[in-house]
Structure 1
Amino acid sequence: ERNSKYYNYTLSVNGKAQKHGADYSKDYLTDVLANMSLDFLQYKSSYQPFFMMVSTPAPHSPWTAAPQYQDSFNDTRAPRDPNFNVHGKDKHWLIRQAKTPMTNSSVEFLDDAFRKRWRTLLSVDDLVERVVKRLEVRGELDNTYIFFTSDNGYHTGQFSLPLDKRQLYEFDIKVPLMVRGPNIKPNQTSQMLVANVDLGPTILDIAGYNVNKTQMDGMSFLPVMEGKLNSSSWRTDILVEYEGEGSNVSDPACPLLGPGVTECFPDCVCEDSYNNTYACVRTVAPSVNLQYCEFDDNEVFVEVYNVTADPYQLTNIAKTIDQEVLERMNHRLMMLQSCSGQSCRTPGVYDTRYKFDPRQMFTGHSWRLSRLRQTMK
């Protein structure tokens, strides 16, 4: 965010500072990264395997588009999904504090941000095209895997939160992931759950390294992409965690809010707070599509969504759902928070691996367990 710049920045190139100004042809960061990537492909050894990672600032703020793209998407606006500009009445207090309906100026602001972000991505499209073409010209495309993903989701108006990330809902936790490469059939989509922790093991697997020799929590999804795996041997749950950020002093623009919150813009709607700290289990299996979340706050607030029946997460069913399901999800969350390495990778092993005394289990919340782990580190 604050460190994303498209012009007037300094890069560290092999430890040497390289200053850039504001000339589009020489300094626009997305294009500079594209040129550096093409140079790398040009001058690397042709006989050795290679790994290249390119991270663009786009589409982070300040959303500076390349000059030729500044008028694209002029009629585009943020999606008006069923959760757009509605009050999250049964949600965590941070969501409930959003002003509903949003002011016209907030809606204009988020629509404008949405357009600007799309415009910055047109230069990312150019980068991808140039890299793929260079690999093709060099005869390397057919034996190279290309992963396309991003760092986090983003919202624009859902539950009347103008724009940011940091929330537990699908629109903030889902990220795109597309892969092409040897033995991957085109135009296929997998419903199996993959998380950021799986990228490392997958890349090691492609390089021929045995992931079981590592202490990584993730799993290689190479067999998933190659169609060599049935879903029963893959996980059905992933862990989603976030630690809230806040400010120790009140925002001068929003004095009524007091300290502890942050990102209160526009209209003094805060996007984050110290106790916006949560852990969730996201479950996707043939018969269930659930999300269970606990907040680390005074009330240990719980949110639960049946994503099959309620894909836009309008209704928190924590108070109406069967107690047994809640306890099972809470148990699952404890397992995912306390596993490490191999014990995270083996589906279904958790319940036998950990011998909790059930009488103690639900008196102490998962948070107590994670606190314990932090003190042990």
Structure 2
Amino acid sequence: MASLRGELPSLMNTLLICVTFISLSCCEEFAKSYRRPNIVLILTDDLDIANGGLTPLSKTKKLIGDAGISFTNAFVASPLCCPSRASILTGKYPHNHHVINNTLEGNCSSIVWQKTEEGHTFPALLKAFAGYQTFFAGKYLNQYGHREAGGVEHVPPGWSYWVGLEKNSKYYNYTLSVNGKAQKHGSDYSKDYLTDVLANMSLDFLQYKSNFLPFFMMVSVPAPHSPWTAAPQYQNKFNTTKAPRGPNFNIHGKDKHWLIRQAKTPMSNSSIKFLDEAFRKRWTTLLSVDDLVEKIVKQLEIRGELDSTYVFFTSDNGYHTGQFSLPLDKRQLYDFDIRVPLMVRGPNIKPNQTSPLLVANVDLGPTMLDIAGYNVSKTQMDGMSFLPIMEGLVNSTGWRTDILVEYEGEGSNVTDPACPLLGPGVSECFPDCVCEDSYNNTYACVRTIGPSANLQYCEFDDNEVFVEVYNMTADPFQLTNVARSIEQEVLEKMNRRLMILQSCSGQSCRTPGVYDPRYKFDPRQMFIGQSWQQSRLRQKI
């Protein structure tokens, strides 16, 4: 790909001659043969993989997964919508893009975000420096359209065509910003069901875009986020479906952070009924997403562009429904909340591939820039391109072994009247007074996957300096916290790696991990320049 850069001036001159002297059809064929690949990113909202989230998406799995590569170890940098979406757009960990939660005060689509990060997202680079025409449709960041952040008139830089949903996921009765102009929608299925509206707008873009330039299209659907409103034809599907009863379902989260231990075990019948119904409804909303994927792929095929287009399918975070007796939400450090689906098809990707290599959503931007021929090293992105993995050019010994996951908990100073016993500092309380978040549900984790290790190491920023460690090979459901029994050397390695990742930026985030053969552990570097949490860690373990 890089070799084409030097040829661009002469190619542009030839193309100009073609436009001037030869037929339009000739120019179209010439442009297609030399331009960069097209890129499509389909982003779902709260779609898990650990609890069967892909089950309803049979057409998506066939058209993208079976036609390309599926990553079994794809993770998010933060298990919450706005920080995770900011990581996708910027290629940065939350400690570098500074979006910490879904509120305007938490930098979600704020003026500060707009001034510091929005102009440097990978779509902005694709448009400004790689010559892509860009299209966005759907949910952007949770506070997009807020009056204090410019309203729906604000169109983020980098988008040739913009269809942004005002604020959070909805299916009916919402407002779209169509290139900065408000377009209100009601509750008529034939005109307003958001997943279908996004599908139709995407097809319109494919039909009316320029045929001379490559394109990037990002379609960000509401499903399967609450309020879990299915299209009429799918409302009665999965009527007998219940949330999976795996080994970590409806059990006490012993040896875990207090927030997990406070959940009532066993759950009440009302909580179980509530989460089962939510699980079923989530699946019904995904059937329209499956239709959307089919429509886009078929339209690309009809237009003769499918073979020159990379199609990505993923989610902003996972989800739980009853694991460790938490009724339903995200925000936790466990695999069901941080591991997501990731499937890609495209040029030079052989079909029916599965990769166990460790990738994260901070890698999406660098990968797409790499596809476009943009030099990722020029950016300050923390992620790395996994295009070599998709093309079969990298094996497990040449890839990273760990990534960072970080989350800053939310909680009010006012006691929730529905849960007075929990006191102030908590939020997101669900049926039967089970708390799903709190101000000290603030943690950072190293998720490690390598030839000789599959581990998760997490530190909480609280008065306990609580630590959770899981051997994912022996304990894939994270039932037993082994922080007090694991080898001291492993704890020291993981603590040191966490310190490095929490302060990393750009290239330093991509240095060898603790289980990478290139990594050399020096115990003399332990506890140098550590934060107060880490200085106390040695005493607590």
Whether these two folds match at TM > 0.5 is yes
Structure 2 counterpart of 1:339: 504
**Could you tell me which amino acid in structure 2 is paired with residue 261 of structure 1?**
V
Does residue 1:150 correspond to 2:315, yes or no?
A: yes
SS at match of 2:354: coil
Q: CA deviation at 1:250?
A: 1.3
Matches of 1:44 and 1:130 in 2, distance apart?
17
Structure 1 counterpart of 2:461: 296
Matches of 1:219 and 1:275 in 2, distance apart?
31
Structure 1 counterpart of 2:491: 326
Structure 2 counterpart of 1:273: 438
User: Residue 249 of structure 1 is aligned with which of 414, 434, 449?
Assistant: 414
Does residue 1:24 correspond to 2:182, yes or no?
A: no
SS at match of 1:86: coil
Matches of 1:220 and 1:312 in 2, distance apart?
29
- Runs in 1 of length 4+ with deviation above 2 angstroms? 345-368
**Could you tell me which amino acid in structure 1 is paired with residue 433 of structure 2?**
C
Does residue 1:57 correspond to 2:222, yes or no?
A: yes
Superposition TM-score, scaled by structure 1 size: 0.94
SS at match of 2:337: helix
Q: CA deviation at 1:214?
A: 1.6
| Greater RCO structure (CA 8 Å; 6+ sep) | 2
Does residue 1:236 correspond to 2:401, yes or no?
A: yes
- Whether the 8 Å contact between 2:320 and 2:327 is mirrored in structure 1 is yes
Matches of 2:383 and 2:527 in 1, distance apart?
31
Equivalenced residue count is 368
Structure 2 counterpart of 1:67: 232
**Could you tell me which amino acid in structure 2 is paired with residue 267 of structure 1?**
D
Q: CA deviation at 1:221?
A: 0.2
SS at match of 1:46: coil
Q: CA deviation at 1:364?
A: 4.5
- Whether the 8 Å contact between 1:296 and 1:367 is mirrored in structure 2 is no
Structure 2 counterpart of 1:46: 211
User: Residue 286 of structure 1 is aligned with which of 451, 457, 475?
Assistant: 451
Worse-matched range after superposition: 250-259 or 19-28: 250-259
**Is the alpha carbon distance of 1:356 and 1:210 closer, same or farther for their aligned partners in structure 2, counting shifts above 3 Å?**
farther
Does residue 1:264 correspond to 2:264, yes or no?
A: no
Q: CA deviation at 1:143?
A: 0.5
Matches of 2:233 and 2:427 in 1, distance apart?
35
- Whether the 8 Å contact between 1:152 and 1:173 is mirrored in structure 2 is yes
Identity %: 82
- Whether the 8 Å contact between 2:314 and 2:342 is mirrored in structure 1 is yes
Matches of 1:5 and 1:314 in 2, distance apart?
35
SS at match of 1:59: coil
Matches of 1:52 and 1:98 in 2, distance apart?
41
Structure 2: gaps spanning 5 or more residues: 1-141, 143-166, 537-541
Superposition TM-score, scaled by structure 2 size: 0.66
Matches of 1:260 and 1:283 in 2, distance apart?
31
Matches of 2:355 and 2:380 in 1, distance apart?
26
SS at match of 1:280: strand
**Is the alpha carbon distance of 1:315 and 1:257 closer, same or farther for their aligned partners in structure 2, counting shifts above 3 Å?**
same
**Is the alpha carbon distance of 1:48 and 1:268 closer, same or farther for their aligned partners in structure 2, counting shifts above 3 Å?**
same
- Whether the 8 Å contact between 1:69 and 1:122 is mirrored in structure 2 is yes
Matches of 1:329 and 1:90 in 2, distance apart?
19
Matches of 1:243 and 1:367 in 2, distance apart?
20
Matches of 2:459 and 2:344 in 1, distance apart?
33
Structure 2 counterparts to residues 167-182 of structure 1, below 5 A: 167-182=332-347
Matches of 1:133 and 1:12 in 2, distance apart?
27
Matches of 2:535 and 2:335 in 1, distance apart?
22
Q: CA deviation at 1:339?
A: 1.6
Structure 2 counterparts to residues 70-219 of structure 1, below 5 A: 70-219=235-384
SS at match of 1:271: strand
SS at match of 2:298: helix
SS at match of 1:54: strand
Matches of 2:295 and 2:311 in 1, distance apart?
13
Matches of 2:526 and 2:390 in 1, distance apart?
39
Structure 2 counterpart of 1:311: 476
Structure 1: gaps spanning 5 or more residues: 369-377
Matches of 1:72 and 1:208 in 2, distance apart?
44
Q: CA deviation at 1:337?
A: 1.1
Root mean square deviation of aligned Cα: 2.0
Matches of 1:204 and 1:23 in 2, distance apart?
39
Matches of 1:298 and 1:180 in 2, distance apart?
46
